[in-house]
Amino acid sequence: MIPLKKIASYLHGHLIGNGEIEVSGISGIKDARAGEITFLAHARYKKFLASCKASAIIVGKEFPPGGLANVNLIVVERPELAYIKAAELFAQPRGMEAGVSRLAFVSGEARIADGVSVAPYAFVDENAVIQSGTVIYPFCCVGKNVTIDEGCTLYPHVTIYPDVKIGKNVVVHSGTVIGSDGFGYVWDGQEHRKIPHLGTVVIEDNVEIGANVTIDRGSLGTTRIGRGTKIDNLVQIAHNVSIGENSIIVSQVGISGSATIGKNVVLAGQAGIADHVTVGDNVMAGGRAGITGDVPSNAIISGTPHMPHREWLKLNSYLKRLPLLFEKMKKMEEKLHLEDGND
């Protein structure tokens, strides 16, 4: 239980109402109950305010203070960021006690720092180096010569192939595979000959990787995920790809080999990037975009093959009118045919 005034102070918000009430948790605006705090991040959720049972609501400065009677408010600059900070107050720790389980296999040649947690049935191979504060859940496999820096979390069934390097505070969710061979073959006239993949993967600091993601190692060089980048579930990143800092890669995106993605890029769901393509900084690609060539920085694109988003919107408006256009053309043809018959 946390007094509301303490939450308001922590959020650097302006409190309107009773700061002495105790808050037990945080919930969405439709589900919140008495004793909980919620937030209003977008105008479309205002319709739920009348039925909201929360004891307090985090709102933006544009929300009129008199908009709700007898409801405690915390007014902040950005409600969505304040929500994150408030949620952190109530989040339950997910870590484990430090130490290596006797049911885990850790090579005698691995170096495990004090403060590392290795769960039962995890596997850590020789010459792996794992730094303090890292948590490795059951059934994870950490290969030879892997380095994992401080404060990382590997959830169950994560596989890290040999020689991969992982920075600080990286989170990898269940089922993800980092460092597998890229998909590269050459036809020799009789069979597909596999191209050896002798490179590695580098995951920089503060990256989060969702569940069932695959990140292939470089064929000779490095596949690199830049600092602060966040990758959703079910993403495929091929060999020798480079992704810049603070990019967002949404579910089911596929990035082909040797593509270069800049900083602060957003790739929406099911976008596909062809091999050897360069996508500049601050690019936003819409869902299912097919990126077949280089994209300059600061572009907003959609469609397949990709095009400027406004152009794509215009094209789609034309497509919606095609049935009407065909109907008009049919009537014109019938009219012309009748006129020709009269001649």
The catalytically annotated residue of 192, 239, 309, 337 is 239
Please enumerate in sequence order all residues whose Cβ is within 8 A of that of 13, keeping only pairs 6 or more positions apart, or say none: 58, 74, 75, 76, 82
* Residue written as token pair 């012309």: 336
Q: Note if 239 is an active site residue.
A: yes
CA angle (242 as vertex; 237, 246 as ends), nearest 5: 95
Active site residues: 239
